[in-house]
Amino acid sequence: MSKKTTISLIKCDVGSLAGHHVVPKPLFNVAEKTLKEAAEKGLINNFFVFNAGDDLELLMLHERGEKNNEIHKLAWDTFTQAAGKALEMKLYGAGQDLLKNAFSGNVCGMGPGVAEMEIEERASDPIVVFAADKTSAGSFNYPLFRMFADPMSTAGLVIDPHMLCGFKFEVVDTLEDKSIILKCPEEMYELLALIGSVGRYAISRVWRANDDLICAASSVTKLSLIAGKYVGKDDPVMIARAQHGLPAVGEILAPFMHSYFVQGWMRGSHWGPLMPVGLKASKCTVFDGPPRIVALGFQVANGKIANDDEGNPMIADLFDDPAFALARHEAMQNASTLRRMGEFEPARLSSEEMEYTTIQQVLGKLGERFKPIKE
Ligand code: F6R
Ligand code: MG
Ligand code: MG
């Protein structure tokens, strides 16, 4: 059997420059140093460090499989070191997402977000990874549905005979910690019945139906459920595999041609338009947003991100493109419409969702002043 390659994308908010805005250079330096050492030791094959707003993102390629103790420990130690540096520099929110003190086996359930995919490399394997800031697990339900189930978005579902078999979706119920697998197109309506509730259900994996080829993986960690209170947004990550019997890279990106609404933004308490941006604009500003997403493309080659002639990983900054200017413009128009509503729903999340935010402390204080209404 051929050797398998694992793509691990693990992220954490370890502290940020000027509020919850952006990961500064010194934290990149910490991550690049630790991952370089790990590559030299042969633990990982190569890597790319980037940021989605205030989240430090570690993209690592290796051959140790998913939820591997050593790889997760490497990520945890990297985040811990970077958080130490953030604390020393008095950056904002130092160590914010490191919710547990001691590492135990893997980082799942400890704060960092994880998307991992172990693959048997095809002759050529194009990959797109996504990372979003100021939003929550469940925010990828809509684009994943468009990519792998919606023939009005992915033409290949109709035109490519290798995709006619459809795709299977694993959906996690984040409140009750259980999951279900649904097959499209047969169970498309049932799938939509669940994943439309983005605050509760999140698509975690997608496979091609006829051969169970893994096509997508995304993080479904709910920070508020781990911590039992508001500690910042989940800021999910996702890996999608493309081409040759799977959606083309262009079909993977097509759902982002228009902005759509996600939960998060200021204080994790508002609906906001998701804005696709290149790495240069991967920073949150107005009303701590708007929520942003970056997309990086690469080829997997012999257990690595394919390198250039100098030995550097070749990364395509896919949203750094005027083709997404319309979505960015729509995002700002919708942002301004929503912000005119201030603290009134639907700009603010429903009271059910607000249960996981700091407004509970405000409401708690008012509780005892409420008096029964006498008839
Ligand atoms: C959203 C987020 C920010 C903060 C906001 C207030 O995920 O992290 O919008 O909630 O900036 O932050 P504090 O309470 O730290 O002043
Ligand atoms: Mg933060
Ligand atoms: Mg963040």
Annotated catalytic, 13? yes
> Which ligand 1 atom is the nearest neighbour of the CA of 235?
7
Per the DSSP assignment, residues forming a β-bridge with 307 are 313
Burial of residue 322 (CB within 10 Å: 0-12, 13-18, 19+) is exposed
Ligand at shortest distance from the CA of 133: 3
Q: What pLDDT digit, counting tens, does each position of 83-140 carry?
A: 999 999 999 999 999 999 889 899 999 999 999 999 999 999 999 999 999 999 999 9
Which of 11, 12, 14, 20 should be mutated for ligand 1, with most atoms under 8 A from CB?
A: 20
> Which ligand 1 atom is the nearest neighbour of the CA of 13?
8
Write out residues with Cβ below 6 Å of ligand 1: 19-20, 134, 232-233, 266-268, 288
Q: Which residues contact 226 (CB under 8 A, 6 or more apart)?
A: 99, 109, 110, 111
- In the structure, what pLDDT confidence band is assigned to residue 355 with cuts at 50, 70 and 90? confident
Q: Whose CA is nearest to atom 10 of ligand 1?
A: 267
Q: Whose CA is nearest to atom 12 of ligand 1?
A: 267
Catalytic residue among 13, 55, 97, 125: 13
> Which ligand 1 atom is the nearest neighbour of the CA of 284?
9
Which tokens go with 276?
């696709």
Residue 16 has pLDDT above 60, yes or no: yes
Which of 266, 283, 292, 359 should be mutated for ligand 1, with most atoms under 8 A from CB?
A: 266
Please give the full DSSP string across 44-91, using - where no structure is assigned: SSEEEEEEETTEEEEEEEESS-TT-HHHHHHHHHHHHHHHHHHHHTT-
Burial of residue 309 (CB within 10 Å: 0-12, 13-18, 19+) is exposed
Please give the mean pLDDT across all residues of the chain: 96
What's the length of the chain? 375
What mean pLDDT is predicted for residues 211-230?
Answer: 93
Ligand at shortest distance from the CA of 96: 2
Please give the distance, rounded to the nearest whole angstrom, from the Cα atom of residue 267 to the centre of ligand 1: 5
> Which ligand 1 atom is the nearest neighbour of the CA of 92?
15
Give me the pLDDT at residue 102, please: 86
Give me the pLDDT at residue 2, please: 60
Residue 1 has pLDDT above 60, yes or no: no
Catalytic residue among 222, 233, 283, 304: 233
Please give the distance, rounded to the nearest whole angstrom, from the Cα atom of residue 61 to the centre of ligand 1: 32
Q: What pLDDT digit, counting tens, does each position of 163-211 carry?
A: 999 999 999 999 999 999 999 999 999 999 999 999 999 999 999 999 9
Catalytic residue among 11, 133, 201, 230: 230
Annotated catalytic, 260? no
Q: Whose CA is nearest to atom 2 of ligand 1?
A: 267
Please give the distance, rounded to the nearest whole angstrom, from the Cα atom of residue 19 to the centre of ligand 1: 8
> Which ligand 1 atom is the nearest neighbour of the CA of 93?
15
CB atoms within 10 A of CB 97: 29
- List, in sequence order, the alpha helices (H) in the chain: 25-40, 69-88, 141-149, 156-159, 188-195, 223-227, 249-253, 325-340, 351-354, 359-367
Residue 5 has pLDDT above 70, yes or no: yes
Ligand at shortest distance from the CA of 132: 3
Please give the distance, rounded to the nearest whole angstrom, from the Cα atom of residue 133 to the centre of ligand 1: 12
Separation between Cα atoms, residue 183 and residue 206, nearest integer Å: 10
Give me the pLDDT at residue 101, please: 83
What is the chain's alpha carbon radius of gyration, rounded to the nearest angstrom?
A: 20
Q: Which residues contact 1 (CB under 8 A, 6 or more apart)?
A: none
DSSP state of 314: P
Please give the distance, rounded to the nearest whole angstrom, from the Cα atom of residue 96 to the centre of ligand 2: 7
Annotated catalytic, 25? no
